[in-house]
Amino acid sequence: MPSSLLMSGFDLRVVDLPEQARLLLAPRPQLALEDPKKAIAQALAEPVSGAPLSDLVAADARVTVLIDDLSLPVPPPSHDPRADMLEVVLAALQRKGVRPAQIKILVANGLSRQWKGVELADALGEQTLAAHPVTCHDAEATAQLARLGDLDGVPVEVNRAVVEADLVIHLNVVSIPLMAGTYPVICGVLGYKTVHGLVTSGGRPTRLPPWLVDLARA
């Protein structure tokens, strides 16, 4: 093939390829779900592993619904599936007797900018936001952060909504492999001082400690 259109980061480039080159394509996308909300409810009731949501939450539980950064996926979907996820999850919590005052909805935007109200309403639905306020993580708001301790002199600070909850429900759209694990949970709710201290150590990159990774799995 003399040339081909390839992705390079977020850009499309026309490149010349040698004749012996093999082009590996991604799998074809699956067909759209006929009833997305029904599929989401079924996933909560019959998860691939672990107990169903109904067994994990009690009526007096403090629940934080964590939504990954709305800047992904790229390009953005015409209808964000996290809006359906959030609606189904809130309905399930209501059936369990969890009061709205016990529920916090947090966008885990990490060090990215906070989303405006009109943007949140557009992505997650005006009716949902009218009944359940949504806040964005602020990595510099000390009052919103809980300090868990220190690691090699670096303060470990995480959003209080995650630390003080009895149950954290993560609503995620996997657009790249990196977003399939605990990465968006951890990096989305850390304080600025923690991110700065853990990512750079004497100018050299370092890994997140295993116990901090476990925080996202708890």
From first to last of its 218 residues, what are the pLDDT tens digits of the chain?
A: 456 777 777 788 888 888 888 877 778 878 888 899 999 999 999 999 899 999 999 999 999 999 999 988 877 888 899 999 999 999 999 999 999 999 999 999 998 899 999 999 999 999 999 999 999 999 999 999 999 888 778 888 999 999 999 999 999 988 777 677 777 777 899 999 988 887 665 444 444 445 455 554 44
The pLDDT assigned to 205 comes to: 41
Which residue's structure tokens are 């369990």? Answer: 96
The pLDDT assigned to 207 comes to: 47
Domain hosting 203: range is 59-217
How many domains does the chain divide into? 1
Any domain includes 92: yes
The pLDDT assigned to 7 comes to: 73
CA distance 78 to 100: 28
CATH number of the domain that residue 89 is part of: 3.40.50.11440
CA distance 84 to 80: 8
pTM of the model: 0.79
Which residue's structure tokens are 């600025």? Answer: 192
Any domain includes 35: no
Any domain includes 138: yes
Specify the DSSP element, H or E, that contains 135. Answer: strand 134-136
Any domain includes 174: yes
Any domain includes 39: no
Task: Determine contact, residues 145/158, Cβ cutoff 8 Å.
Answer: yes
Any domain includes 38: no
Any domain includes 36: no
Any domain includes 41: no
The pLDDT assigned to 174 comes to: 82
Which residue's structure tokens are 């969890």? Answer: 98
CA distance 173 to 4: 28
The pLDDT assigned to 162 comes to: 92
